[in-house]
């Protein structure tokens, strides 16, 4: 079996992740921050160690500004609904995932003013068009770091400069880049960084978070929900301290144990090494697909400008049929359709059917890629 759906969730997981989760359940099964006994303290230590690992990965000086959530959609909603009010202006791009677009459309109905900057057919963002989209009162910019449809990487540092010059904060959706390309949050100028645990960080599903930069005044960032935190229990008002203000309820401790192990595994390899490895696989995949008549590949087709996410279509064939054939006849697992990003597909002209998305990962081999190319050659020629 060849697994090429790593942009949806990474698989397989490193053995270190599985062992960390098993060890937590066996030896640290208490409720972190809720009791003073040894199992609670042990659980809290595991969670804090994961918080420190995330902070180190993104070059954040204060681990308390790492907020754990149930996934990146939760993190994005926390930032968007926490910051934006009726009358505020927000700027985004046309290649965003629905985890950004659906909250923004809901906020738009409540009076937030939304501007969507059109990207090119390859998903690239015109910075001058982006700059021109800013008007007085722009509160926030929210963009994906890299498209989940065609892998196109947006120029985050330049976007941050434009946003900050206009007095706006920058929220970045790093679902497709965390653990895959190096991210220095302060150096890039990212104010709010949303990440998920189950993709490039090689943790389990049900994990993610939001990291809050120093420019963000947390007194102006409202919690998405309120409740028990294990701290300030004598008060019926939500505590203001971080991370408690945004982490109501018992956290997914066993998932966070796995996430922390995944991050440490990535750090032991080096994110730069992972990026280089995936770029090699991407180059091999792109060159092979582009040599097959009848196959259209979308995006920049330049591994220096994209993550290892390749979208394509086969002339005269529905993407769903191709996906089924790849699974049934060749044991190649990928994703077809709109990938929860209709705006991105409208941008590149593949709406409403979508594309076949191939996403290799660190455990993919060059032989796997050669097999995928051979399968597409047979499908393109024989239908």
Q: Could you report the per-residue pLDDT of 111-152, keeping only the tens digit for each?
A: 999 999 999 999 999 999 999 998 888 999 999 999 999 999
Q: Where are the domains of the chain?
A: 2-10+270-382, 15-269
| Residues carrying an active site annotation | 340
The span from the CA of 375 to the CA of 61, in Å, is 48
Tell me the pLDDT tens digit for each residue of 171-188. Answer: 999 999 999 999 999 999
pLDDT at 26: 94
The alpha carbon of 269 is separated from its chain's Cα centroid by a whole number of angstroms, namely 20
**Length of the chain, in residues:** 383
Asked if the model's pLDDT at residue 3 lies above 90, the reply is yes
DSSP string for 68-125? EESSHHHHHHHHHHHH--TT-EEEEETT--HHHHHHHHHHHHTT-EEEEEPP-TTS--
The third-level CATH classification (topology) of the domain covering 15-269 is 3.40.640
Give yes or no for a contact between 276 and 183, defined as CB atoms under 8 angstroms apart: no
pLDDT at 30: 87
Q: For the domain with range 2-10+270-382, which CATH number is right: 3.90.180.10, 3.90.1300.10, 3.20.20.120, 3.90.1150.10?
A: 3.90.1150.10
pTM above 0.85, yes or no: yes
Q: What is the DSSP letter of 128?
A: H
Q: Is the bond leading into 249 cis (omega within 30 degrees of zero)?
A: no
Look at residue 311 and give its three-state secondary structure: strand
DSSP string for 181-211? S---HHHHT-SEEEEESSSTT---SS-EEEE
């Amino acid at each position: 079996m060849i697994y090429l759906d790593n942009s949806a969730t990474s698989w397989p997981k490193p053995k270190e992740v599985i062992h960390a989760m098993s060890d937590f359940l066996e030896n640290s099964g208490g409720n972190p921050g809720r009791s003073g006994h040894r199992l609670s303290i042990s659980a809290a230590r595991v969670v804090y160690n994961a918080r420190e690992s995330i902070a180190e990965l993104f070059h954040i000086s204060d681990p308390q500004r790492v907020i754990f959530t149930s996934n990146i959609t939760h993190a994005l909603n926390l930032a968007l609904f926490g910051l934006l009010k009726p009358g505020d202006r927000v700027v985004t791009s046309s290649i965003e995932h629905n985890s950004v677009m659906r909250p923004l459309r809901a906020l738009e109905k409540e009076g937030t003013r939304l501007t969507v900057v059109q990207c090119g057919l390859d998903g690239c963002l015109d910075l001058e068009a982006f700059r021109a989209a800013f008007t007085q009162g722009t509160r926030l910019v929210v963009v994906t770091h890299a498209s989940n449809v065609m892998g196109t990487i947006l120029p985050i540092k330049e976007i941050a400069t434009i946003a900050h010059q206009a007095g706006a904060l920058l929220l970045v959706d790093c679902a497709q880049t965390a653990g895959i390309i190096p991210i220095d949050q302060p150096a890039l100028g990212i104010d709010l960084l949303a990440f998920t645990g189950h993709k490039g960080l090689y943790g389990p599903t049900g994990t993610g978070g939001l990291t809050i930069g120093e420019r963000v005044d947390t007194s102006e960032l409202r919690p998405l929900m309120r409740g028990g935190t294990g701290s300030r229990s004598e008060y019926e008002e939500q505590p203001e301290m971080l991370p408690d203000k945004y982490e109501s309820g018992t956290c997914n401790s066993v998932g966070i144990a796995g996430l922390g192990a995944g991050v440490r595994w990535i750090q032991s390899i080096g994110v730069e090494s992972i990026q280089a490895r995936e770029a090699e696989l991407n180059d091999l995949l792109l060159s092979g697909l582009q040599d097959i008549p009848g196959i259209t590949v979308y995006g920049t087709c330049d591994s220096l400008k994209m993550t290892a996410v390749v979208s394509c279509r086969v002339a005269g064939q529905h993407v769903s049929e191709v996906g089924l054939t790849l699974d049934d006849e060749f044991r190649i697992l990928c994703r077809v359709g709109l990938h929860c990003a209709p705006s991105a597909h409208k941008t590149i002209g593949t709406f409403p059917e979508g594309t076949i998305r191939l996403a290799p990962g660190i455990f993919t081999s060059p032989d796997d890629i050669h097999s995928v190319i051979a399968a597409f050659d047979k499908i393109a020629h024989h239908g």
